[in-house]
A and B are shown apart, each in its own frame.
Chain A
Amino acid sequence: MAPFAYSSPIEAVWHYLHRLICGAVLLFLIAPILVIIPLSFNSVPFFTYPMPGLSLRWYEEFFLTSRWQGALYNSIFIAVLVTLLSTVLGTLAALGLSRPNFPWRTAVMSLLISPMIVPVVIKAVAVYFFYADIGLLNSYTGLILAHTTMATPYVVIAVTATLIGFDHSLTRAAAGLGAPPITIFFKVTLPLIVPGMISGSLFAFLTSFDEVVIALFIAGAEVRTLPRVMFSGIREQISPTITAAATVLILFSVVMLTSTELLRRRSQRLRGIRDT
């Protein structure tokens, strides 16, 4: 928006100053992420520019040494199971909640969303005490369970969002035409909520894949996840392999962001909402 023809000089100066401030803030937002990526190709173990040469040695270390590789496998394994569990549980819950006149809807919804609200340290400590009692410390099961409770709110929210304005006469029409409930679900409901399910499950995956605090509290030596290895890497001596790991994670986020955006558009198109 150019300054109006009738604007005073002060206004024009202010206009460009505003642009300048915005440019600086946007740079502040994006630069740290962009700066870290080239550093992961540095041939020497320093974190400064100019870089003396390019190399893939940090990626080699990230993908080929057992310390990082094991952590990556663990993280993916845990995140995949968490995604499956939380998508199924979250979708079912969202379907139930969006049925007309569900009893105590607000209360149940707040309860299901609460894991998103409680500070992560509180969750970690509470789960730590709980697992110490029932012997789930240092186990895959424990970590998967804890991550699943953290990830389900995202699925519930995402699927509920696609069910807003859901036309229940569609399912009634299908039922009236003689379709059994299972067929109705797979042929009518599912195609409409799939975008929400996928974006919710991507969020669930990311939640588990990035989670470090709970892993620090309850996962022992065998269940080392990628963020945990990164955390101790930053704390002890920071090696450039961390920049390679960070780059991989950033790439992950970009892919996720793009896919959810595409899905959101598809979902809006399917439900006949014009993108405004």
Chain B
Amino acid sequence: MAIMAVQSASNLDGMLLRIKLQRVERRRKLRAFTLVLPLLLLNLIAFVSPIGRMMFNAIHDDTLLTLMPRTTAALSAWDGKDLPSESAYAALAEDLKQAWAQKTSGVIGTRINYELPGASGEVASSARQASTLSAAPYKAALIEISPLWGQRGVWSLLKRGHSAYTAYYLLRSVDYQYGPDSRIVASPPEYAVFRDVFLRTLGISVGVTAATLLLGFPVAYLLARLPLMTSNMLMIMVVLPFWTSGLVRTTAWVILLQEHGLINDMLMALHIISQPAALIYNRIGTVITMTYIQLPFTLLPIYSVMKTISPSYIRAARSLGAGPFYAFWKVYFPQSLPGIAAGCLLTFIVCLGYYLTPALVGGPRDQMVASFVAYYTNEELNWGMASALGAILLAATLLLYYVYNKLVGVDQLKLG
């Protein structure tokens, strides 16, 4: 009895201690979390949620649903084969009257115009004239006002507008769109520009990545094998541009590559060319400047991996009879591959999102996806398209970063 009592008392003590420890532990975790909380909240509110909303904008568009509620509702029973019945036209007339009164016909016209180019003027004039219509039959009257309402395309568009979600923007981003019967068809060639833009973005990024590797690899190799003092001195030449603002570096190349800039002057003074070469506002200028900006990004990870390769491996290979190139290729190069992968992947990812440099040193045919995101946001005010293109760019970037993280670890992102 007595022994059991002692045992249960010590059990109780142990339990109490465990609970106490757990409580302390929990409080510690809570305190650690409290320290992170302010930044976490800021990031969630001012960064994550805006980006989430942008992604949402790519598939969400309730313009037609809210501004033409009667028409979109009336069409839910429409089979899409012939023109809809008189009741749908009556709903349309009501919606157009309301749009005219509330001055929203412009917004509706713009939305319809995205999918049916040239329709925005028709919608505006229809709204104005529909406001004078008073009695049935509306069908003939509306088709009289604008032949637009006699086309099946606009009706299937309005029917799709019954849902607040649309795949239209994402489809357009890969050069597809809805046909008059709501089936997905390829965009007509004059609007099918985006596949080209994506391919161009990929092409420029691959080219720039390859160029930085070609230029960066020999330098990293040299810097990794020089005595520390010398390599540190030379490293300044790599790190200083890395630290200088991208805008300043782009400015430098704008000045260098101009028609009467330094490079043309030099080439002409050396009699290599007789007339100024076109170096800026084209692909050459874009690739040169991007390569210049990205070179340290590729070089530094390669360098830091090469730093860890012991020179004795090469010496061992040589002493065993390998030729210099064989020893390099079979012994040194494979060990530097992680650095090459990290550097190239990082540069490639950064290149995909380039906006500033193509905008300043590229021509209209050198603009990448990011430029079109900006164009649709600032010039066209077509936020759905901007969001869809942005969402695709973001998805590609995040996917590649996931790979990068698996390969290298984001923690390894160096500051300089």
Contacts and interface: CB of A to CB of B under 8 A. Distances in A.
Contacts of B40: 93, 108, 111-112
Contacts of A108: 36, 40
B240 A36 contact: no
Contact of B245 (A19, A90, A253): A253
Nearest to A243: B255
A97 B32 CA distance: 7
A50 B252 CA distance: 17
By size class, the interface of chain B is 35 or more
Contacts of A250: 244, 248
A122 B390 contact: yes
Interface in A1-50: 1, 7-8, 11, 14, 18-19, 21-22, 25-26, 28-30, 32-33, 35-36, 39, 46-49
Contacts of A230: 247, 251
A140 interface: no
Interface stretch (B46-54, B64-72, B329-337): B46-54
Contact of A118 (B216, B295, B377, B394): B394
A116 B413 contact: yes
A275 to B, nearest CB: 9
B49 to A, nearest CB: 7
A1 B356 contact: no
B183 to A, nearest CB: 31
B17 interface: no
Chain A facing B: main interface SS: helix
Contact of A129 (B53, B243, B356): B53
Interface string B236-259: 011111011111111111111010
Max chain B Cβ within 10 angstroms of own Cβ: one of A32, A49, A103, A113: A32
B34 to A, nearest CB: 7
B398 interface: yes
30 contacts: A7-B324, A19-B222, A21-B218, A25-B219, A26-B237, A36-B251, A47-B258, A47-B262, A48-B262, A49-B265, A96-B32, A96-B36, A116-B413, A117-B397, A118-B51, A122-B54, A130-B49, A130-B53, A148-B46, A149-B47, A157-B413, A158-B415, A227-B245, A231-B247, A234-B254, A246-B251, A249-B248, A253-B243, A256-B243, A257-B243
Interface of B: 25, 28-29, 31-40, 42-43, 46-51, 53-54, 57, 215-216, 218-219, 221-222, 225-226, 234, 237-241, 243-256, 258, 260-262, 265, 292, 295-296, 324, 349, 352-353, 355-356, 359-360, 370, 373-374, 377-378, 383, 386-387, 390, 393-394, 397-398, 401, 405, 410-411, 413, 415-416
Nearest 9 CB-CB pairings of A with B? A119-B353, A96-B35, A210-B245, A130-B50, A99-B32, A126-B50, A32-B252, A96-B36, A121-B370
